[in-house]
A and B are shown apart, each in its own frame.
Chain A
Amino acid sequence: MKNKIILSVLVLFFTFCFIVLYKGLNNSNIYVPETKIEKTLIKFNSTDLYSENKISSDQIFVGSEYYVLNIWASWCVPCRAEHPKLIKLSENKSIKLIGLNYRDNPKNAKKFINEFGDPYFMIIKDNQGIISVDLGAIGVPETFIIDKDKKIIKRFLGSLTEKSLNEINLITK
Chain B
Amino acid sequence: MLAHQIGYYSLILGFFFSILIIPVSIKNFSNKNKVINNKVFSISFFQFFFVLVSFSGLILSFVNSDFGNETVFNNSHTTKPLLYKISGTWGNHEGSLLLWLLVLTLFIFIFLIKSNSQPKKYRILTLLFQQVIIIGFFLFLLKTSNPFNYFFPVPKEGLGLNPILQDPALAIHPPILYLGYVGSSIIFSSSLAAVVEKHISNVWAKHIKFWIFVSWIFLTFGIMLGSIWAYYELGWGGFWFWDPVENVSLMPWFCLTALLHCILVLEKKSMLSSWTIILSIATFMLSMSGTFLVRSGILNSVHTFANDPERGIFILIFLFILILFSLVIFFVFHKENDQKIVKINWLSKEASILFNNWFLMYFLSVVLIGTVYPIFLEVLSSKKISVGPPFYYKLIIPFLIPFLFFMSIGPNLNWIKSEIKKIKIQIVLSFAVSLLISFVILNQIGFVGLINSILILVTFYLFFITIKDFFLKKFKNYSQIFSHFGFSLLILSILFNSILSSEKIINLKVGEEFSFREETIIFESIESIKNKNYKSIVGNFKIKDKQNNFLQLKPELRIYNQPVMITSEADIKTTLYYDKFLVMNLVKDYEYFNVRYQVKPFMIWIWISTVILVIGGFLSLFQRSYEK
**Residues of A bordering B, CB below 8 Å:** 3-4, 6-7, 10-11, 14, 18, 20-31, 75, 77, 129, 132-133, 138-139, 157-158
- Whole-angstrom distance between the alpha carbons of A65 and B564 in the complex? 32
Q: Report chain B residues within 8 Å CB of A77.
A: 70, 73, 151, 155
Q: How far is the CB of A110 from chain B (nearest CB, A)?
A: 15
Ordered by A's residue number, 8 sampled pairs between the chains whose C-beta atoms are within 8 Å are A20-B380, A22-B313, A24-B378, A30-B305, A30-B307, A31-B301, A31-B302, A75-B157
User: Does the CB pair B306–A75 fall under 8 Å?
Assistant: no
Q: Report chain B residues within 8 Å CB of A30.
A: 297, 305-307
- Whole-angstrom distance between the alpha carbons of A3 and B156 in the complex? 62
- Whole-angstrom distance between the alpha carbons of A30 and B331 in the complex? 40
B309 within 8 A of A: yes
Stretch at the interface among B3-11, B316-324, B514-522, B539-547: B316-324
| Chain A residue with Cβ nearest B289 | A21
- Whole-angstrom distance between the alpha carbons of A5 and B327 in the complex? 13
User: Does the CB pair B564–A133 fall under 8 Å?
Assistant: yes
Q: How far is the CB of B146 from chain A (nearest CB, A)?
A: 15
Given A20-B375, A30-B306, also A3-B331 (CB < 8 A): yes
Most chain B Cβ neighbours within 10 Å, of A11, A23, A28, A133: A28
Tally chain B residues at the interface, Cβ within 8 Å: 36
Given A18-B320, A20-B376, A75-B155, also A28-B564 (CB < 8 A): no
Task: Find A25's partner among B155, B156, B301, B309 (CB 8 Å cutoff).
Answer: B309
User: Does the CB pair B563–A28 fall under 8 Å?
Assistant: no
User: Does the CB pair A24–B304 fall under 8 Å?
Assistant: no
Task: Find A21's partner among B155, B156, B327, B375 (CB 8 Å cutoff).
Answer: B375
User: Does the CB pair A25–B327 fall under 8 Å?
Assistant: no
User: Does the CB pair B309–A26 fall under 8 Å?
Assistant: yes
Q: Report chain A residues within 8 Å CB of B157.
A: 75
Most chain B Cβ neighbours within 10 Å, of A14, A77, A132, A138: A77
Task: Find B298's partner among A7, A14, A24, A138 (CB 8 Å cutoff).
Answer: A24
| Chain A residue with Cβ nearest B303 | A31
- A to B contact number (C-beta, < 8 Å): 76
B411 within 8 A of A: no
User: Does the CB pair B379–A75 fall under 8 Å?
Assistant: no
Task: Find B379's partner among A24, A129, A132 (CB 8 Å cutoff).
Answer: A24
Given A21-B298, A21-B316, A30-B297, also A11-B375 (CB < 8 A): no
B165 within 8 A of A: no
| Chain A residue with Cβ nearest B307 | A28
User: Does the CB pair A20–B379 fall under 8 Å?
Assistant: yes
Q: Mark B244-278, 1 if CB is under 8 A from A, else 0.
A: 00000000000000000000000000000000000
B196 within 8 A of A: no
Within 8 A of A (CB), among B32-80: 70, 73
User: Does the CB pair B312–A28 fall under 8 Å?
Assistant: yes
Q: Report chain B residues within 8 Å CB of A31.
A: 300-302, 304-305
Given A7-B331, A28-B298, also A18-B312 (CB < 8 A): no
B296 within 8 A of A: yes
User: Does the CB pair B327–A23 fall under 8 Å?
Assistant: no
- Given known contacts A7-B328, A28-B298, what 13 new A-B pairs fall within 8 Å (CB)? A14-B323, A23-B379, A24-B375, A25-B312, A28-B297, A28-B312, A29-B298, A29-B300, A29-B304, A75-B157, A139-B159, A139-B563, A157-B306
Give the top 9 A-B pairs by smallest Cβ distance, nearest first: A75-B155, A25-B312, A29-B300, A7-B331, A23-B379, A24-B379, A24-B375, A18-B320, A20-B379
